[in-house]
Amino acid sequence: MSHVPHELHEEFPDAAAALHALKTSDAHFAKLSEEYHVINREIHRIETEIEPASDQTLEDLKKKRLSLKDQIAAMLAACESTGS
């Protein structure tokens, strides 16, 4: 199992400019991005055994991270399609 953190700039390598623009111009996107970052770091700490957690807790966090990633991807796609 890979214990590499899934940072947004790694998940969306071609969208660095859009990520930055949305973080600074869209409060909802900034909140989603921050929530993703917090959950992602927690998952990484659990996977690297820095922080103990049950398998169910880890699974729930991964589902939440995936949901946030889907929302972020949708917002990035909408930004691309409007050219913003």
CA distance 83 to 79: 6
CA distance 42 to 69: 15
Mean pLDDT by 10 residues, the chain (84 residues): 75 92 96 97 95 97 98 93 68
pLDDT at 84: 53
pLDDT at 31: 98
pLDDT at 21: 93
pLDDT at 79: 86
pLDDT at 81: 80
Strands (E), the chain: none
CA proximity to 41, closest of 1, 70, 8, 13: 8
**Both tokens of residue 74?**
């949708």
Assign 52 to helix, strand or coil.
coil
